[in-house]
Amino acid sequence: MSEKAPLQPGPLRVTQTPPLRAQPQRPGEAGSAGVLAGEAHSGFLKNNLREYGMLISLVAIMVLFQVLTDGTLMRPLNLTNLLLQNSYIVIMALGMLLVIVAGHIDLSVGSVCGFIGALAAVLMVEYEWHFVPTFIVCLIAGGLIGASQGWFVAFFRIPSFIVTLAGMLVFKGLTLALLAGQSVGPFPETFQKLSSGFVPDLGVSGGLHLSSLALGALAAVALVFFKLRGRAKLAQHGMEQEPYAFFLVKNLFFAAVILLLSYLLATYKGLPNVLIVMAVLIVAYDFVTSRTTVGRRIYALGGNEKAARLSGIKTQRLAFLTFVNMGVLAALAGLVFAARLNTATPKAGLGFELDVIAACFIGGASASGGVGKVMGAVIGAFVMGVMNNGMSILGIGIDYQQVIKGLVLLAAVFIDVYNKNK
């Protein structure tokens, strides 16, 4: 048997593949790409219709009442009153949003608001405490109230509806007992400035408060800068984002609103102190809910508590903290409301919980939890505020105002349930 000769290594040949050349675009491909982009934009708008729809609704309602009231709605004096009248609703809506997103509800916020105002009145008027220690004690008291209710909800698994309904009755009674059924006031002038004061002005030019204009311009620039920066960071991580056209139009619109609002207020007395408080809280809570681990865990808790617990989230502690946070914000709102009235009354806070809850649901929060945004709650609060203010200017009775607000709330929840089932 003959053996085959071993193969001898030959010269290694390297064949080079010619570089790929860009193929000429076929007719119709550019059009199809545009169609795909248009479909992506329309799909994004459809998925976020609730968020953008409420913003459009707020603008439409303001334009409607501006016309019906012959321009009274957007006058600087009325705008200032509108901000002051809704400041405590916006503050409590921030806390209520987290409670609702976590899958709970708090019916006691109005009573807690009134109770804290009564406590502040007793300490400052009857015991002559300085407003700073009074402020601190009241915030601590609000936190303890929220902790007591959150303890029953989170660790004893008692439905939040029952716990906070009991709290509403308890603190209504405590307010009456604390004030002995009478109004207590007036407050020290320094405390009143919390709600009725304005940002000190550096100078007046042409009847305009320069500090208000400067703060408004700074806020508008900061908004656009940080939104662009955040979008760039998301792009680096390959995360899905809204189409650039929507992003640009939305943020330019908000910047224009800030500039217009600061200009109109600068023609009167400038920026109210409580507006600065609201702005700081809105920015802080928007950051917490959208950029922090705690915020993401609250959404996970409301979306599916069992899955959140199995993934390692301490759901009981998180639910407990949302009620503590709600108590602190209700206390702050009570102080703001008392400072605005310059007195504490036994009926303070009556019905506030309804406006706060309605603001969250109108702003896009889901009754089943896990859904809702800070800006949506703020927009919802101002929808309620503009409606209240506009209807009052038109002379519509309080009975019909309640009917209209109830129908608006029902429509908002109906749309949410309809979209979810769809």
Which residue, among 352, 357, 401, 342, has the nearest Cα to 120 in the 3D structure?
342
Using DSSP's 3-state secondary structure scheme, residue 204 falls into strand
Which residue, among 167, 176, 202, has the nearest Cα to 118 in the 3D structure?
176
Q: What angle do CA 69, 74, 77 make, to 5 degrees?
A: 105
- The enclosing H or E element of 205 equals strand 204-205
Cβ atoms 297, 313 nearer than 8 A:
yes
Mean pLDDT, the chain, integer: 84
Cβ atoms 187, 125 nearer than 8 A:
yes
Please report the pLDDT score of residue 29 as a whole number. 47
Please report the pLDDT score of residue 420 as a whole number. 64
CA distance readout (Å), 32 to 28, 36, 44, 51, 159? 6, 6, 18, 29, 53
Rounded to an integer, the average pLDDT of 335-360 is 91
* Residue 8 in this model has a pLDDT that exceeds 60: no
d(CA 217, CA 1) in angstroms, rounded, equals 97
Please report the pLDDT score of residue 410 as a whole number. 83
- The enclosing H or E element of 209 equals strand 208-209
Position 256: which residue type? A
d(CA 417, CA 19) in angstroms, rounded, equals 56
CA distance readout (Å), 288 to 45, 51, 237, 284? 25, 19, 20, 6
Min mean pLDDT across 9-13, 209-213, 367-371, 401-405 is at 9-13
Could you report the per-residue pLDDT of 101-128, keeping only the tens digit for each?
Answer: 999 999 999 999 999 999 999 999 999 8
Using DSSP's 3-state secondary structure scheme, residue 344 falls into strand
Q: How many residues does the chain have?
A: 422
Place of tokens 């085959």: 4
Q: How many CA atoms lie within 13 A of 282 on its CB side?
A: 18
Please report, rounded to a whole number, the percentage of residues in the chain having pLDDT higher than 90: 44
How deeply is 186 buried, as exposed, middle or buried, from its count of CB atoms within 10 A (0-12, 13-18, 19+)?
A: middle
Please report the pLDDT score of residue 32 as a whole number. 47
Could you report the per-residue pLDDT of 180-224, keeping only the tens digit for each?
Answer: 888 988 899 899 998 888 888 776 566 788 888 889 999 999 988
d(CA 116, CA 134) in angstroms, rounded, equals 10
* Residue 294 in this model has a pLDDT that exceeds 80: yes
- What single DSSP character describes residue 182? S
Give 238-277 as a DSSP string: T-----HHHHHHHHHHHHHHHHHHHHHHHTTT--BHHHHH
- Give backbone dihedrals phi and psi of 139, rounded to 5 degrees, phi first: -65, -40
Min mean pLDDT across 45-54, 136-145, 188-197 is at 45-54
Using DSSP's 3-state secondary structure scheme, residue 184 falls into strand
* Residue 10 in this model has a pLDDT that exceeds 80: no
- What single DSSP character describes residue 198? B
- Token reading at 396: 């519509």
Q: Which CATH class is domain 53-197+272-421?
A: mainly alpha
CA distance readout (Å), 197 to 7, 116, 270, 387? 97, 20, 10, 25
- End-to-end CA distance of the chain: give it in Å, rounded: 80
CA distance readout (Å), 7 to 1, 163, 167, 269, 355? 18, 89, 93, 97, 90
* Residue 52 in this model has a pLDDT that exceeds 90: no
d(CA 371, CA 360) in angstroms, rounded, equals 10
